[in-house]
Amino acid sequence: MLRSRTTLSVAAVAGVAMLALAGCSPAASPDNPSSDPSYNFWYVNPLPSFQAWGESNGYFEDAAEGLGFKATLVGPAQIDIPSMVSSMEQAVTDGANGILTCALDPSAFATPIKAAQAAGAVVVSIGCVDETADYSVGTDNVEYGKVSADLIAEGAGENATVAILGTAKETPNQVAQVQGFNDRIAEAHPGMSVVTWEFNDSDPAKAAEKIQAILAAFPEVDAIWMIEGAGPGAAPTALAEAGKSPGDVFVLGIDALDPTLDAIKDGWITTTFAQCYFQASPFAAELMIAKLNGEGPTQQFWPVPVAPITKADLPWKGCPADLIPTLAK
């Protein structure tokens, strides 16, 4: 598990939080955590069973003692926005001082976020950029699309024919990524074209079916750009069944999941982008603490870079520490 290789050590996390906790009881300092934590923080995770989100839970929980908070971890077995909203309401009832979540649908999350804020809780959205939350921590999705276009142009050619495979057409972060991609090819890679944008509902089995269907309908495809994390692991089997060999199609994945890393090792996926915000859940807690102590930064969106992973980067040891934001001065 990547959580055992966290880039934020307990000592470093405690040092970052020392000033932010200055206004709390001396018994609850980071160097001498109280058995009664100063803060009640909930992580309403969108999908704890998904490897990267589960690891994000682990980072958050591991940081709790050093930062002086009680971590309550909840989340649905599958993507379920009403269930997440209900958990946020439960957190408010429980007297949560802070709520970390991923506002998958900003319109659906606006009301529970405002209700939590009215009750005195600080809300941070991680992985989902949300303007209603006190802070957002995540990938700059437009920039992600641009970087992906440049990488595909370099790896598959300036005139590459590209197919996109994502979760669903209305997924906000992916819409922004595709927009950034299209903007970039228009300005820098005019010979590149996108022939289709397909959706697999974050289901590896559906992803395999879609990959085979794409290659049957568009045999000229040079590159497949996969913008949701469950799908890349299905690429080896799907490509092989479509009669392809490793390297025949340039595949750019997302996230550092074990099946994806295995596919990179075997040559089926050229590169994946690790979204380092999964490791930034302790930083989200720092933001909560700072704001609760009247020292919250005015910066609302905190972009966390992605880290490209190729075969040369294996075994993957997690995102470099310098890619994770910090409030350290």
Taking only the tens place, the pLDDT of each residue in 174-213 is 999 999 999 999 999 999 999 999 999 989 999 999 999 9
Q: Are residues 205 and 87 in the same domain?
A: no
Q: What is the DSSP letter of 314?
A: P
Q: Are residues 29 and 147 in the same domain?
A: no
Q: Which residues contact 310 (CB under 8 A, 6 or more apart)?
A: 264, 270, 271
Q: Are residues 174 and 205 in the same domain?
A: yes
Residue 263 lies in a domain: yes
Beta strand spans in the chain (E)? 39-44, 69-74, 98-101, 122-126, 135-138, 161-166, 193-199, 223-226, 250-254, 271-275, 301-303, 306-309
Q: Are residues 284 and 184 in the same domain?
A: no
Average pLDDT for 77-105: 97
Closest CA to 111 of 92, 128, 96, 98: 92
Residue 265's CATH number: 3.40.50.2300
Residue 321 lies in a domain: no
Split at pLDDT 50, 70, 90, the class of 220 is: very high
Q: How many CB atoms lie within 10 A of CB 240?
A: 12
Write down the residue that tokens 């939590």 correspond to. 116
Which pLDDT score, from 0 to 100, does residue 28 have?
A: 40
For the record, the structure tokens of 264 come out as: 């990179």
Q: Are residues 161 and 260 in the same domain?
A: yes
Q: Are residues 201 and 85 in the same domain?
A: no
Residue 81 lies in a domain: yes
Split at pLDDT 50, 70, 90, the class of 216 is: very high
Residue 317 lies in a domain: no
pLDDT tens profile 118-161: 999 999 999 999 999 999 999 999 999 999 999 999 999 999 99
Q: Are residues 102 and 187 in the same domain?
A: no
Closest CA to 275 of 260, 292, 293: 260
CA 172 to the chain's CA centroid? 13
Provide the sign of the torsion angle of the four alpha carbons 126, 130, 131, 134, taken in this order: negative
- The SS3 call for residue 128 is coil
Provide the sign of the torsion angle of the four alpha carbons 63, 68, 74, 79, taken in this order: negative
Integer Cα distance of 128 and 175 in angstroms:
12
Q: Are residues 227 and 299 in the same domain?
A: no
Write down the residue that tokens 């999350």 correspond to. 109
Average pLDDT for 283-300: 97
pLDDT tens profile 21-73: 333 333 343 444 444 679 999 999 999 999 999 999 999 999 999 999 999 99
For the record, the structure tokens of 301 come out as: 């969106």
Which pLDDT score, from 0 to 100, does residue 20 have?
A: 34
Residue 103 lies in a domain: yes
Q: How many CB atoms lie within 10 A of CB 251?
A: 30
pLDDT tens profile 68-84: 999 999 999 999 999 99
Q: Are residues 61 and 128 in the same domain?
A: yes
Which ranges constitute the DSSP H helices of 122-254?
Answer: 141-156, 172-188, 204-217, 235-241
Which pLDDT score, from 0 to 100, does residue 167 have?
A: 95
Q: Are residues 114 and 147 in the same domain?
A: no
**pLDDT of 4 higher than 90:** no
Residue 320 lies in a domain: no
25 touches 38 (CB < 8 A): yes
Integer Cα distance of 271 and 310 in angstroms:
5
Residue 15 lies in a domain: yes
pLDDT tens profile 303-319: 999 999 999 999 999 99
Range of the domain at 292: 2-133+276-305
Q: Are residues 90 and 146 in the same domain?
A: no
Q: What is the DSSP letter of 59?
A: H
Structurally, how many domains does the chain consist of? 2
Residue 37 lies in a domain: yes
Residue type for position 267: G
Question: pTM score, two decimals?
Answer: 0.86
Q: Which residues contact 299 (CB under 8 A, 6 or more apart)?
A: 135
Residue type for position 217: A
Q: Are residues 172 and 240 in the same domain?
A: yes
